[in-house]
Structure 1
Amino acid sequence: MCGRFAQSIAPTDLARAFGTRNAVPNFAPTWNLPPSQSAPVVRHNPKSGERHLDLLRWGLIPHFERDPAHARMLNNARAETVAKLPSFRGAFAARRCIVPAEAFYEWKRDGKLKQPFAIARADGAPLAFGGLWESWTDPANGDITRSFAIVTTDANATMAPIHDRMPLVLEAADWAVWLGEQEGDPKALLRPAADTVLRTWPVSTDVNSVWNNGAELLQPMHDEASEGGPNSA
């Protein structure tokens, strides 16, 4: 699963990294973004043929939901069933997106304790999560909510000691196929990242609370060289 991530990359830097062409939205940096909050998402605009960077709410609301008081918000979509389940199959076929991130968090269980870890790309580039987005119209007032879910896969060898699932991490060469900009089979991309793509390091349990939101959350608990921190390979 993926339940919290950091995204403090400047809007203009994200737009440059992902080649978006619309007016760059303004959003504040966050080091502890939970579901229900808005985050920058990269989508393909079929009319202009360009990539756009937009703010969408994390927690996909299926288009068929009718009751806004009980509308489900689906944070993750499993790669194994994303093309089959009614909640996701339409979005997987036509509304795939990329969710940029600086890092994400996962918790390793040790008996009754859970140790949080931060996970980022080993090469220092932004993470590009494979996502799905949906547009939901409130039947009561016509208001539209655009929301997204992050696709998850089995863990690779780097993630397996921490958790058995991980977000779908896309390589730049696969972005165009995932976004629907060029022909290709998106199902072929539903796989764990290569074992050398990610690095992990333990962080403070301060990240457990969504009320804590600062750059210090990404600092390693111990010596970076011995713990695989931000500056180690």
Structure 2
Amino acid sequence: MPGRLSIYDDKVFKIDASTIIENDMVGKLNPRYNIPPTTPIPALLNNGNYLYTHFGYLPSWASSKTSMNMNARSESIFEKKTFRDSFKYRRCIIPINGFFEWAKEDKEKTPYFVSDIKNDYLALAGIWDEYFDVDLNMKIVTVALITCDANEKLGKIHHRMPVVLEKKDFNTWLNNDDLKEVNKLFNIYPNDKIQIHEVSAEVNKVLFDMPSCIKKIKKVEENTKEKQEIGQLSLF
């Protein structure tokens, strides 16, 4: 159930979704490595607009921002009044390069970065709505990620993960009115299509937004092994 995302390169996504994007309002992407809730994130809406949206879903009828949701469960999305209409009529794709999850180890929480095995993008299934922001005195587009059970690899860290869409399913997700067909896309993403590595605790800081956020942290045993290997090589 990710609450922090990373999107620093959307070039391949734009190519893959070129037949669906009708209005590119994002233009040149502003790279972000540690995106928390309530901040802008690009999304492709089912009206053809690719634009920056508010990460944190608010239905149009919400009385305040206290009802904001970052995630919607795939198992109950059609049953919940909050999400039901958006699932029917306002679906979107949220492209990311990866997301963060925290593993509970003793009393500490260790951050991990989850990304595509080929270091490409992950296309997350989402929903959107327009909400009138009284502070801005304007309507804003708000989005939520849809989640499902985690695959075995990620399940060692967290029991939920985002629903990830394949390129071939983009059009079905955005434009198919047959919800039975849409529901078939709520699949657990395969273990062999993601990679996970530990990152610096600096990512815990909401304002820390640097490429080092996603850099792999070498554990003590890895460093020891490297030293041993170097020592063995020096004998010859």
Task: Output the TM-score relative to the length of structure 1.
Answer: 0.85
Q: 1:140 to 1:39 in 2, by over 3 A?
A: closer
RMSD: 2.3
**Counterpart among 109, 126, 143 of residue 104 in structure 2:** 109
Could you tell me which residue of structure 2 aligns to residue 166 of structure 1? 161
Could you tell me which residue of structure 1 aligns to residue 132 of structure 2? 137
Could you tell me which residue of structure 2 aligns to residue 76 of structure 1? 71
Could you tell me which residue of structure 1 aligns to residue 197 of structure 2? 201
Letter in 1 for 2:57: L
Separation in 2 of the partners of 1:119 and 1:139?
35
Could you tell me which residue of structure 2 aligns to residue 21 of structure 1? 22
Worse-superposed segment, 138-147 or 154-163: 138-147
**Counterpart among 145, 148, 156 of residue 150 in structure 1:** 145
Structure 2 residue runs without a partner (length 5+): 224-236
State whether residues 25 and 52 of structure 2, in contact with CA within 8 Å, keep that contact through their aligned partners in structure 1: no
Q: 1:16 to 1:178 in 2, by over 3 A?
A: same
State whether residues 15 and 53 of structure 1, in contact with CA within 8 Å, keep that contact through their aligned partners in structure 2: no
Could you tell me which residue of structure 2 aligns to residue 54 of structure 1? 51
Could you tell me which residue of structure 1 aligns to residue 228 of structure 2? none
Higher helix share: 2
Q: How many residues align?
A: 217
Could you tell me which residue of structure 2 aligns to residue 118 of structure 1? 113
**Displacement, 1:111?**
1.3
Could you tell me which residue of structure 2 aligns to residue 212 of structure 1? 208
Letter in 2 for 1:58: F
For residues 143-196 of structure 1, what are the alpha-carbon distances to aligned partners after superposition, in whole Å with 9 as ceiling and x for unaligned?
312100001110001111111011111111111111115866111111211221
Q: Radius of gyration: which is bigger?
A: 2
Could you tell me which residue of structure 2 aligns to residue 9 of structure 1? 9
Letter in 1 for 2:147: T
**Structure 1 segment 172-183 matched on structure 2, within 5 A:** 172-180=167-175
Could you tell me which residue of structure 1 aligns to residue 42 of structure 2? 40
For residues 49-90 of structure 1, what are the alpha-carbon distances to aligned partners after superposition, in whole Å with 9 as ceiling and x for unaligned?
xx3311110111122213x4x542111001111111000010
Task: Output the TM-score relative to the length of structure 2.
Answer: 0.84
**Displacement, 1:137?**
3.3
Could you tell me which residue of structure 2 aligns to residue 231 of structure 1? none
Is 2:62 the counterpart of 1:65? Answer: yes
Q: 1:212 to 1:91 in 2, by over 3 A?
A: same
Q: SS state of the match for residue 82, structure 1?
A: coil
Letter in 1 for 2:195: R
Worse-superposed segment, 138-147 or 175-184: 138-147
% identity of equivalent residues: 27
State whether residues 44 and 93 of structure 2, in contact with CA within 8 Å, keep that contact through their aligned partners in structure 1: yes
Could you tell me which residue of structure 2 aligns to residue 91 of structure 1? 86
